[in-house]
């Protein structure tokens, strides 16, 4: 409860900063980071199934590690 008021104030101030800078910042960022309708395997130039296998294995091992460490 101690952080409720500062948190709400932070949301409001952050939203105001985002809204006030959106028109100036978004066009510049969208020119730099416009990859179209690309997916990660296309961007990394790897086989989609190998990416799925790697991501699934990594996720499984991460959750297994969390379970071992009781996190």
Q: Return the pLDDT at 11.
A: 97
Q: Return the pLDDT at 70.
A: 85
End-to-end CA distance of the chain: 25
pLDDT in tens, 10-52: 999 999 999 999 999 999 988 888 878 889 898 899 999 999 9
Q: Return the pLDDT at 12.
A: 97
Distance of CA 18 to the CA centre of its chain: 17
Contact of 41 with 47, CB cutoff 8 Å: yes
What are the phi and psi torsion angles at 56 (to 5°)? -65, -45
Predicted TM-score (pTM) of the model is 0.51
Q: Looking at residues 55-64, what average pLDDT do you find?
A: 97
């Amino acid at each position: 409860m101690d952080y409720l008021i500062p948190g709400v104030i932070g949301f409001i101030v952050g939203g105001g900063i985002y809204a006030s800078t959106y028109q100036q910042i978004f066009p510049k960022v969208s020119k730099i980071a416009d990859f179209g309708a690309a997916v990660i395997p296309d961007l990394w130039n790897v086989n989609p199934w190998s990416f799925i296998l790697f991501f699934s294995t990594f996720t499984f091992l991460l959750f297994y590690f969390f379970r071992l460490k009781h996190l």
